[in-house]
Amino acid sequence: MPNGIKLVLFDMDNVLCDYDRGKRVACLAQLAGSTSAFVHKAIWETGFELLGDSGALDASDYLRGFGYQGAASREGWQRSVAEMSIGAGLKEGLTEPGQWTMGITGFGELLPYHENRIMLDKEKKDKWGLPVLSMDAEIKDNEKKMRKDMVSEAVEMLEAAGLKNVHSWDRGHPVGDGIHEMGAARMGRDAKTSVLNGHNQVWDAPNVFVTDGASMTSSACQNPSLTYMALTARAADFAVSELKKGNI
């Protein structure tokens, strides 16, 4: 692109896949013995945002918020593994669709803590003799309180939708389990207080650009991948311009 990247648009609704939410809601309604409108309202119209905007929610227990991702599907052939069946009966049974199930997972915001950090290990080296990365990070009391709310609200929503045999669990959260780690190379306006400038360029090494989540000083409960892609597109455009000018 001789003129550089001017605009990047992502239409994620139809790029990779599509799904019929209405059909899934109808199946859930059938499973719950309810109506599609009732299930849709119980899951997608909980009123959390309106309550938060109105100040009706008490934030004294923990800061920030969370959201859910989930899916509904039929049980697959694995449902019959434990039965140890064989022969025509097993084959015939597996031609019928399994029961509908639904699961949701909570995604919460982790507060930025100064003591959560990444550093070079002074003792351990890689096969080239270079120090490996060492991480020292954990969730704290705020996140643990939020997780309890995630679980209770998830159960309440699913039961309100009419689902039966709703079970919850909390297996803990080691930092990194959410995949999208952020921080450790702050973006800022001053080289004394940040690692990167506004173009994701390292202050002390102008030919190095860091375009993942390291530049972000805080997170949210949404997937940040599109933000990473936008930062990368902007940084690449700036780098090409600087190369042409002979600045790097």
Strand (E) positions, 109-247? Answer: 117-125, 131-136, 201-202, 205-209
Q: At a CB cut-off of 8 Å and minimum separation 6, what does 115 contact?
A: 136
Per-residue pLDDT band at 28 (split at 50, 70, 90): low
- With a pLDDT cut of 70, the percent of the chain lying above it is 75
44: pLDDT strictly greater than 80: no
Distance CA 16, CA 188 (A): 35
**DSSP conformation class of 183:** -
Rounded alpha-carbon distances, angstroms, from residue 244 to 7, 224, 237, 247, 248: 20, 31, 11, 8, 9
Strand duo 201-202 + 100-108: pairing: unpaired
Q: Regarding predicted confidence, which is higher, 132 or 160?
A: 132
CB 77 within 8 A of CB 90: no
pTM for the full predicted model: 0.67
